[in-house]
Structure 1
C-alpha cells in the first residue's frame, strides 16, 4: 500500500435541507405548536374520529399534507418522501393523532404500485383530503409483523423489549395497558376509566 494514501479515509456527509423543506418544517411546527398542546392531543384522541378533524382540515387545506408526496397527475404536490418525512416528523414531535401516516405515507404508494386504474383515480381524493386511509390487516402473524414494522418512534425503545416475546400478554399483560402505562409515565395521558 502506498505510504501517502491512508488505509482508511472517513468522510462525513452533511445534508442541508432546502429552503422549501425548512419552510414546510417551520410552518407545520408553528401551526402544531398552537393547535397540538398535550391538552389538545388528549382531547382529540377521545373524540369519535380519534383526531382533531378541524386541525386535519387545516393541514389539508393550508398545507396540502395528504398530497405532499403524490404525483401531480393525482392532484398531489409531487414532492419527495423527504418532505413527507419532515411533515411526519413534525407531527410526531407533538404526538399528533391524525390520519397523516396512513393517508399520505402508507396507502398512496401501495395504491399506485398495486392498484387498478380505478383505484389509482381515488388518489385524487386522498390529495384533496376528502378521503383518509387506515391500515387494516387480518389478525395473527401478519398483523403483528405490520405493527412491528410501522410502530411509532416514541414506542420503539419500549417495544423492543416485548417485540419478540411469543407470549407477551402472558408475561407483561395486555399491550394496550403497557402503552397506557408508558404514556402515563411520560406525562402524556391520564389513564382512561374502565369502560371509557
Structure 2
C-alpha cells in the first residue's frame, strides 16, 4: 500500500511534548507582562493636535496646551493637581464633579476644556480665604451635611450656584434645584439645611 505523502510531511510543524510546554510557558509569561496603554497625553498624534487654553482657576491664570478631547475635570485633576473636584460616575449623572464656570454650575466631566478658553473657573479649593472656610462650608459642618465626604465638594459648589440663581428660598425648593447632585450616604437633610441657612442670609 502506498503511503499518503501528507502523513510523511504534515502541513504544520510537529512539536514534541517538551517544545509544546515551552511555547505555552512563554505565552503565559508574555501575557503576565504589564500593558503600557497609549494615553491621550503620550500619543504622538495627540501631541500634534494639542490646543492652547488660557483659563483662570480660583483667581490664578493658567496657559496650557491640552488635548481637545480632555474634559475640564481631567485638566483640573491631572494637569493642575486640583483633586478636590471628584470624578464620580464620569457620565454627568452624580454631580460629584460640579464646579462653577463663569459663575454657572456645570458637571465638569462632560465639559470639554478646549471649549472654555478664557473662562473663569471656581473649584472647592478656591472657597477658603486666608485659611478660613467659606460660610457654606461652615454650614455643611454645622448642619452635618456630609458623611463620607466624597460628594461634598460637588454639593457645595452646586449649593453656591443654587443660591446665586435664587433657588434657595425654601427647604422645599432646594432639593429640586440640586437634584443632579447625589449623596449615596443620604445626608440630604443636612445638605438642604446648610444651603437654606446660607441662602437665607443672602
* Richer in helix (by share): 1
Q: Please give the TM-score of this superposition, normalised by the length of structure 2.
A: 0.21
Q: Please give the TM-score of this superposition, normalised by the length of structure 1.
A: 0.22
* Richer in strand (by share): 2
Bigger radius of gyration, 1 or 2?
2
